[in-house]
């Protein structure tokens, strides 16, 4: 392996690394865990205010475990990939019920918790427990792939396995926590996807991708597929008293356990909603909008109606008259929140 790799990384980190992120203060396994889950596919700048609000509301694993799911999802609203929040909540309950609220101290035990993969487990063990555990998040994959000129998409099994071997060999037995944070910082701030700052990189001298002029092609990109488009009609039913009807989605699937508007496919008519009466003369359309998931586009056509009184919706665990002043805290998908804001402004 490369000479003095970890020493160069740590020396760079001491001078140029990030040392004042919220989760780097008062380090505990719980705080590291929540930050690592939030940082999956999400930028640090976006995560910081969410992390701080989350910690204020759920300061401990016990507080998170005992909280209603709607409250957890409300504090996740806007971060996306809501399965992360549901898994976080489920794992917190497991920690309290089966481990007396204490985190297991081995990577193998940590990965048994819902939503925790090998890299996240390694980060918790290394940063919060001082264990000798490698990580391999997206930033670290990029650094190691370029430094060793490993071609191919890092999520391909052979490529990923090779990167894990390298990560394990390079992770030092001392200052493991600092090294772990340093590698994530190096990938996030220097060895970036586009326009990496090789002149500021402590590993530039023996970076094989740089030597071979292959920085732009390594790591390889995910094979592209045509993204399909789905269409849906959202039915926004107002009660005339400052509330709109929302339906809680099933616990699995897209926007699982979040509240959304009643919907139909394409232009199908709206089925009867617990005998709700709609004013046919109140129907109007809002501007369509597109929401893009990782694997498809969702084109939404919003229709607004004046609806019936509150007592006509009997299934309180499924239906909610949501006040447009936002005084009820539940989990909302991004396009739902956007449309509610449009209704409130109107």
Who's near 115: CB < 8 A, 6+ residues apart? Answer: 37, 83, 84, 87, 88, 90, 91
- b/e for 31-55, b at 16 or more Cβ within 10 A? bbbbbbbbbbeeebeebeebbeebb
Give the integer Cα–Cα distance in Å for 226 and 105: 43
Specify burial of residue 287 (Cβ count, 10 A radius: 0-12, 13-18, 19+): exposed
Q: What is the SS3 assignment for 304?
A: strand
Give the integer Cα–Cα distance in Å for 244 and 51: 29
Q: Which of 74, 179, 85 is nearest to 132 (CA)?
A: 179
Look up residue 53 and give its two tokens: 């609000």
Q: Which of 39, 53, 49 is nearest to 180 (CA)?
A: 39
Give the integer Cα–Cα distance in Å for 19 and 15: 10
For the whole model, what pTM was predicted?
A: 0.83
- Residue 101: how many other CB atoms lie within 10 Å: 14
Amino acid 268: pLDDT: 67
Amino acid 267: pLDDT: 62
Distance of CA 182 to the CA centre of its chain: 21
What domains are defined for the chain?
A: 5-211 (1.10.340.30), 229-345 (3.90.79.10)
Asked whether 313 and 245 are in contact (CB, 8 A), the reply is yes
Low-confidence ranges of the chain (pLDDT < 50): 1, 274-275
Give the integer Cα–Cα distance in Å for 227 and 230: 10
Tokens 């037995």 sit at which residue? Answer: 173
Among candidate residues 36, 165, 208, 345, the one labeled active-site is: 36
Amino acid 346: pLDDT: 75
Amino acid 272: pLDDT: 55
Look up residue 211 and give its two tokens: 């030597």
Longest dimension (CA), the chain: 76
Amino acid 269: pLDDT: 66
As a dihedral over the C-alpha atoms of residue 245, residue 294, residue 268, residue 248, rounded to 10 degrees, the angle is -30
Look up residue 312 and give its two tokens: 């006509």
Specify burial of residue 250 (Cβ count, 10 A radius: 0-12, 13-18, 19+): exposed
Amino acid 274: pLDDT: 44
Distance of CA 18 to the CA centre of its chain: 21
Q: Is 36 a catalytic residue?
A: yes
Amino acid 45: pLDDT: 94
């Amino acid at each position: 392996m490369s000479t003095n790799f970890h020493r160069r990384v740590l020396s760079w980190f001491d001078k140029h690394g990030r040392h004042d992120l919220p989760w780097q203060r008062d380090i505990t396994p719980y705080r590291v865990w929540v930050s690592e889950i939030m940082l999956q596919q999400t930028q640090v700048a976006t995560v910081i205010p969410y992390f701080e609000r989350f910690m204020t509301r759920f300061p401990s694993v016990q507080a998170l475990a005992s909280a209603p799911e709607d409250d957890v999802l409300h504090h996740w609203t806007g971060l996306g990939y809501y399965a992360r929040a549901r898994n976080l909540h489920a794992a917190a309950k497991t920690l309290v019920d089966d481990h007396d609220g204490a985190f297991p101290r081995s990577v193998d035990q940590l990965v048994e918790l819902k939503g925790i993969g090998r890299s996240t487990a390694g980060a918790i063990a290394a940063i919060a427990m001082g264990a000798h555990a490698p990580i391999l998040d997206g930033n670290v994959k990029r650094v190691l792939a370029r430094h060793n000129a490993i071609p191919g998409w890092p999520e391909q099994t052979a490529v990923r396995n090779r990167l894990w071997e390298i990560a394990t060999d390079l992770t030092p037995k001392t200052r493991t926590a600092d090294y772990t944070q340093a590698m994530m910082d190096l990938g996030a701030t220097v060895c970036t996807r586009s326009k990496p700052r090789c002149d500021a990189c402590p590993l530039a001298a023996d970076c094989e991708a740089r030597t071979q002029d292959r920085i732009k092609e390594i790591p390889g990109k995910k094979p592209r597929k045509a993204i399909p488009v789905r269409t849906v009609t959202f039915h926004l039913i107002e009660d005339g008293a400052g509330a709109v009807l929302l339906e809680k989605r099933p616990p699995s699937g897209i926007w699982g356990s979040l509240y959304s508007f009643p919907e139909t496919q394409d232009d199908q008519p709206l089925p009867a909603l617990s005998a709700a009466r709609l004013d046919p003369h109140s129907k109007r359309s809002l501007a369509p909008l597109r929401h893009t998931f990782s694997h498809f586009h969702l084109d939404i056509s919003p229709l607004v109606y004046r609806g019936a009184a509150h007592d006509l919706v009997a299934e309180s665990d499924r239906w909610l008259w949501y006040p447009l002043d936002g005084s009820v805290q539940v989990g909302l998908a991004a396009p739902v929140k956007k449309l509610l804001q449009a209704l409130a402004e109107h």
